[in-house]
Amino acid sequence: MAKCLASSLSMFSSSLLLGLFIMTTIEKTEAQIGVCYGMLGDNLPSKQEVINHFNQNNIQRMRIYDPNPEALEALRGTDIELMLDFIAVGNEVKPSDPFAQFLFPAMIKIQNAVNAQGLASQVKVSTGTFSALLNDDSFPPSNGSIRQEYKPILDPVIKFLVSNKSPLLLNLYPYFAYIGNRRDVRLDSALFTAPSVVIQDQGSRLGYQNLFDAMLDTVYSALEKANGGRLEIVVSESGWPSAGGAGDVTNVHNARTYISNLIQHVKGGTPKRPGRPIETYIFAMFDENNKLGDETERHFGLFSPNKQPNYPINFN
């Protein structure tokens, strides 16, 4: 496993140098919202068609999961800002993963490659994590804390991020929180449609009208308890499947409602950090038929592989 990871890191570093070079030709944008371009499908459009589709739909930010040379070349000279200014080393790494011990060394290796190119102030190395890192009693948000088994992985990472002034990348899905606890979690809070406060945090005296804010502030509270109170969080994934699960939850109406409201909501921050736009990436651009897991995993796309929208969305 270690030799395999070392080989993968070497290949990644070579591609990274190309990505860093091309990234300097990509314009910056003030948009808060972007879209994840996943490539786990055997029927997806060409890289150039995808870039054109981003432009045609006024999507100004893109996240990719590796520095794919063909995609990077297609981006050259466009107005689309690439999330390679945050390089994610690992995604949702769990303590039980056989490669978990290599996460922090890999981040250092990639940071050294960035530093060698003189881009330390422009490109930030981070890792993508998710709500599973939180203790079960992390409710209300002010009670947020990190699970003991995650601390050997995350403690050095948090120190690294603080030292390098890098953000933590968080995959945040109110959808999964809702389907995991339909008894206690309200659908309208997950969809940003609750008419009033649904979570009153007595510890912080803050009120929460939606699940997205409550989940994000829970992680902020957990970071504060782990000497990471100065960290910013970039929401590196968030979405809602339009099919593949329970019909009253995973449908086009709910997917469109969630995404439309998300686009507007992230402009204004959370109760804990108000007035601070939340950089957020919608998952995903296309339905991807080779994704593993539940059927819903293959239906998070804003578009079908034929580039037809699964539902109307306005990015203006």
Say if CB 123 and CB 87 are below 8 A apart: yes
As a whole number of angstroms, the distance between CA 257 and CA 153 comes to 36
Q: Is 49 labeled as catalytic in the residue annotation?
A: no
Of 73, 92, 224, 297, the active-site residue reads 92
The residues facing 126 across adjacent strands are 88
- Of 81, 237, 279, 288, which residue is the catalytic one? 237
CB 68, CB 47: distance < 8 Å:
yes
Q: Is 92 a catalytic residue?
A: yes
* Catalytic positions: 92, 237
